[in-house]
Amino acid sequence: MSNKTLTRMDLTEAVFREVGLSRNDSAALVDSVLEHVSNALASGEQVKISSFGTFSVRDKKARIGRNPKTGEEVQISPRRVLTFRPSHLMKERVAEGNRSQD
């Protein structure tokens, strides 16, 4: 498995090469898309990207947890968490990638 991480700059460079925009315009486009996604999620909306997956925000209730080291019970406060559910196509593509490395 590769330790490579896809960064914002990698996305900008891909837009620059594939679309032909200038590097500055490519960076602005990537930033704009990520900003729209972030704003939608922050306001509680779902973000569905066809053939990729769905990002959504889930509210978790308060609960009692346990410190695994000490066994002490701890109150876990309610919070919002970001979840991602990959599409079937993405699951298949990732599985194919795993098979090609065997």
Q: Could you tell me which residues are beta bridge partners of residue 75?
A: 64
Segment 57-79 mean pLDDT: 94
User: 59: closest CA among 83, 36, 30, 35?
Assistant: 83
Using the predicted structure, report yes or no on whether residue 102 has a pLDDT greater than 70: no
Predicted pLDDT at 98: 72
The maximal CA–CA distance of the chain, rounded, in angstroms, is: 58
Q: At what angle do helices 23-42 and 8-19 cross, to 10 degrees?
A: 130
pTM of the model: 0.77
CATH class for the region spanning 1-43: few secondary structures
Q: Which of 2-6, 29-33, 71-75, 97-101 has the lowest mean pLDDT?
A: 97-101
For CATH 4.10.520.10, list the domain ranges present in the chain.
1-43, 46-101
Q: Which CATH architecture has domain 46-101?
A: Irregular (4.10)
∠ Cα 71 75 76 (to 5°): 105
Is the predicted pLDDT of residue 84 greater than 60, yes or no?
yes
